[in-house]
Structure 1
């Protein structure tokens, strides 16, 4: 948007100084070319950078009291203004050469939806006598709603309701539309003059979407057209493939793609598809010679699985997708479904308790030769075992091979498509290893060891691979175009050793291949030299750990390896003749991963721009899947976990204005791998891209807790303070972010108390005037901070505080206690001796008297 257009748009959104605008040259004051008043003159509003959109146009319609925007068009300005730079000046100054466009807007002059969440929803109002009036809901029906949605350029009505708005509706007559009218006021009306008190129509129309298929046999078949700025054009893209076609079929609610191709049509105006665009728009203006044709399955699909040839079976009836009851479903039915979806033969199907009532009850009775499931005969069954649905897996129809190598796991990469074997071409050689890893896995070989371009092949046709989807099914990445090449990709996979079930490609349970079957390795006798050979063979770092693990299955590889540590492959090592193994023990090995992750540009190691190190080179990471679904949570969680930073809080994009070398990552592949590094797509291209910011939960460092007192004794996590003395508990943290607060939590056997103070210079001091027995207990500091639009907290270690008496008092009390005890003992002894003497005297007197008698 040029400066004047930007000023206009700001003026439209501001109540302080609204811009004076008008629409001229149309059939009504609510349609035509947009003009703005400058002093006493009216001048056309020009859109030099194609930045005007429906939101800005809707502001214009509302500004001139013309309802909602219906359409926005641009026409090439035949008379450029004098103050615009010429083409020669543009070249000299480095500014764009794009010619200016005039903005043409059509508003609805009679109907609008007010106070909704978008322009296609809200309270229905019509204009009469230049005043907007709410519409009474009595008698308003689906046909009336369809006319309103069509008139506003929205989709079909998705809901309308009666709503008590708090004011009497001003439009009382009842509309009686047939549903085909172009405007609501073209419908017939009744003579009703009353309305239920305060009830108005609130209407929601569906958005017409970004795509449609035209000139085909139905809405799910035909030439792809895209909508931008409310203008529909054919879409063309040289790297079009099944993955992109699946996105279109899904958005159109049309099941799975059956086929797609690019057809030459001659030069015409099209939208150029931009899958990696950082702009809000999906397309760019262009003139091209091709269009995209897609055929989607409108009646059957496999849902909720990792690729298009497996999942829960659903059929469409009455425009609603319904799960299929598993009762009676057999192999012939499965063969028809797999054939209809363009997949291979069925490799498995099962009954699955899905947790919802099955909606499709009739039983299919296919012979196996039908072209579509709904062409099969059906029974009249109307019951089904509760909640059981069909889950089906068809074999992947892709045909891939490595030709001309020493084994089936090495050689020139070729693929069969449409019945033709051709070499495969990838645009950027840096992506070769990623493609090779996908191929090795599909061929049931071990990890990819190398991928090299060989130029010695003659000129020939090759299939092109779209590199940004290399972690999807390989067929999805194959473009509809092909061209001649004079080089070919040679791939070498490890045919003998692999690590499976680990956290990344350089860790896991060790397996070797024998007789084309992968076998776990017995841990008895496995040592460091053996581990070094495995790590070197897989292109990983040195072994960082290996252990014996009870895996729950008997190891199938019994002989003991006796490597010297210098061998290039594990199977090149000598082996013993051992034929026994400790029951169920296998080798689990971890090699150091060659790649690393970090977050930089912030005051915490747990927040900032995501960067990764590959081949000793640190670069920022751009996620090519962000603009498809912004579903980066699982991959970002891996970053936080790998850095020891807790869980993911949020991810965002930050605009960067310069080109720089980037690593590309495809986060959608994280659903099928545990390692972020496995999802890298290497490239040396400098990109003008946004910065991917990650914020983890352990953003704050652990705060410190300490006690200050004139008489203090510290023993590990126990602190003694003098009874009756003043003491302070100090909470502090390392300087990271300004502000925040400290919460001091006190726990004793009888109570829990909380004290809160703001953080001043990253600390807070909690004062206690006199230590008492009630202060005995555990104290913990919690630092709270609101930053990056989220609340964070971090907890200190606990300390245990014990109020106690002074040492001298204790000594005096001890001496007094001792003196008292001595005195008691002395008194006791005195009276004891006196009692003994008196007793003896009485006994002697008694004896004398007895003798005298």
Structure 2
């Protein structure tokens, strides 16, 4: 959208050839990207589907008369997709267009070099076409519009996003693990691991590089960062009361506050040779090769970092060396590792230079962590509702509801990958059959921001003053319910809790 301003601070519909004796028009681009007037619908992604064009706020289809690869090339270019691949019939994409939807174009004739479909020769007087002849298009799926740069691999680094074929950075205002989860998902990396400052990755962004996004707010479930709520680094316009003038002041965030860069779950640390993934000989990956870690300088703080990085429980054994059967071979990458215990990743701990040490494999480090903290909701209709159980020492047990509230439920729903908690009356919660066996946790207290229930305060494992009538039941919004977990209570629940 383009607005025209004059110095009296009122909009005025003037252009290059329109002036008044007292005012001079100035053109200001408020939105750098205009929305495409074409889209592909009902396909597996935004770059494949039935072709629709926009006219006066209404979307209509395009007849396939004369439709060919040159026309598809233009559509792909306008949508910022990849190369044109095919011209399938629009009927391939279900459901078909509604019979009431208009057909805006009878025939298109593009040279293939146009930037927009609207620039091609068109016959808009539709006289002989029905929705059975709707045009379709297949373009290559576009590369992600986010990337991580200057890190050790493509799944770690400073965050950059693409706008109009240009890459810019993201400010770290409000940046959190939910935003990192979306970046990792979009880049097809693993689980989100951390969000250190972007300044960690050298060289820093050039001062001339733009900062495109001032603040991001993701729910954590989006497939692309562009789908999250965003405050883009816009222009603040200051209008002067002096004649013939318009002042623009661009306020940019400080480069020092560039976005904390995500760690995604590309494997760079592992424990091997043990009874499970949380016990074994420590190995790290450097220059695409795995090597061991010398125990010189190794302590509990370093073991805590490894256990956290692997998503395991707390560190339980740190000083043990490998025996003859579990020793490594080949490279010994690290020695004299020094951690505070707070690092998200072993990469941030101090150590000797990679491969520069006098260690032998008799000194390979062995680490043991508790099994990962796991929880689940059982006897509900979906994995996002039911009686809460946690796993400890290989045994599932329930959680007592003493002190339990909304903040605790928020943590459970987040850890399970569900959405927000749903309020359900106590009468309906009691319809769930109580558990049996162990009651593992009692007096759980969370702040609501924790990523795992394990990070909340609670009594020691197995210590409680409860019975199974006090078992915690949690409902999160997630997959739609299909069955009736309460029998006769279900209709009543739907009336009282419409979100279920």
TM tier, smaller = 0.3 to 0.5
Structure showing greater Rg: 1
TM-score (norm 2): 0.43
Higher relative contact order by CA 8 Å / sep ≥ 6: 1 or 2?
Answer: 2
Q: Which has the higher strand share?
A: 1
